[in-house]
């Protein structure tokens, strides 16, 4: 069976920029939550625990700010024992987003979870069902992966269209993987989570230099 034609990043940004702005705003709030927890405990950033705080803070933000975006914890749908990098799941029209921490700035491998491997392989059975769906709607499984600096300030968010992968990092395949948001150099930790979602600059960005540690 031929694979469904996958949308290009320009097509996704054209239709879903407001959704992506809200998701990035949620990640900014999640990173703020991770830093606040470390400050409250009066301890350094815990790089094992902090991704879970980002996920928790982002989900709270999305639940509170935008009733049209329903974010669920990924383990509700997948096999949690096989998901060391747990994320959020968001479905909008015929697009399914997984929000995951980057692997040293790159699209993370799906790992041993068969369901996540199927998601990466664009298996049609995992696409959301849309009543009376328009034929011109793009259809794809996409991964929004995020990067931070050493202090857990969000530095970069990328959007990828995976086509396959398994356990190892070098197994990951993607139709495309593009940076869509980057922290401005003059945006400090105290203000970056306060920006309004609709003011976030979402665009395709391919600079020569990268920043951040990958969380």
Question: What percentage of the chain has pLDDT greater than the value 70?
Answer: 76
- Sequence-distant (6+) residues with CB within 8 A of 60 are 29, 33
Q: Confirm if 94 and 151 have CB atoms less than 8 A apart.
A: no
Q: Confirm if 80 and 185 have CB atoms less than 8 A apart.
A: no
Structure tokens at 117: 């491997």
- Sequence-distant (6+) residues with CB within 8 A of 47 are 215
Q: What is the mean pLDDT of the chain?
A: 82
- Size of the chain in residues: 215
- Dist CA 57 CA 100 (whole Å): 14
- Dist CA 159 CA 114 (whole Å): 22
177 HSE (CA, 13 A, CB side): 17
pTM to 2 decimal places: 0.84
Mean pLDDT confidence for 38-66: 82
- Dist CA 74 CA 33 (whole Å): 19
Q: Which has the higher per-residue pLDDT, 210 or 115? A: 115
Question: What percentage of the chain has pLDDT greater than the value 90?
Answer: 45
Q: Is the pLDDT score of 184 beyond 70?
A: yes
pLDDT at 194: 54
Instruction: State how beta strands 140-148 and 95-101 pair.
Output: parallel
Structure tokens at 78: 């997948």
Q: What angle do CA 16, 138, 67 make, to 5 degrees?
A: 40
Using DSSP's 3-state secondary structure scheme, residue 20 falls into helix
Q: Is the pLDDT score of 105 beyond 50?
A: yes
- Dist CA 69 CA 72 (whole Å): 10
Going by C-alpha positions, the residue among 51, 20, 21 that lies closest to residue 34 is 51
Mean pLDDT confidence for 140-168: 94
145: which strand partners?
100, 158
Q: Which has the higher per-residue pLDDT, 197 or 75? A: 197
């Amino acid at each position: 069976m031929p694979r469904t034609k996958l949308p290009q990043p320009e097509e996704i940004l054209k239709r879903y920029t407001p959704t992506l702005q809200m998701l990035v705003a949620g990640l900014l709030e999640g990173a703020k939550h991770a830093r606040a927890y470390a400050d409250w405990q009066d301890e350094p950033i815990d790089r094992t625990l902090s991704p879970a705080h980002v996920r928790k803070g982002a989900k709270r933000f999305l639940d509170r700010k935008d009733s049209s975006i329903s974010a669920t914890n990924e383990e509700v749908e997948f096999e949690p024992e096989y998901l060391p990098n747990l994320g959020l799941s968001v479905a909008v029209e015929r697009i399914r987003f997984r929000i995951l921490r980057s692997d040293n700035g790159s699209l993370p491998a799906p790992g041993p979870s068969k369901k996540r491997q199927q998601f990466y392989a664009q298996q049609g059975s995992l696409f959301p069902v849309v009543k009376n769906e328009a034929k011109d709607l793009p259809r794809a499984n996409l991964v929004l992966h995020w990067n931070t600096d050493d202090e857990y300030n969000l530095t970069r968010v990328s959007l990828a269209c995976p086509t396959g992968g398994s356990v190892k990092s070098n197994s990951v395949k993607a139709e495309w993987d593009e940076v869509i948001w980057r922290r401005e150099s003059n945006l400090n930790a105290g203000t970056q989570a306060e920006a309004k979602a609709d003011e976030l600059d979402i665009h395709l960005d391919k600079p020569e230099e990268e920043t951040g540690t990958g969380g």
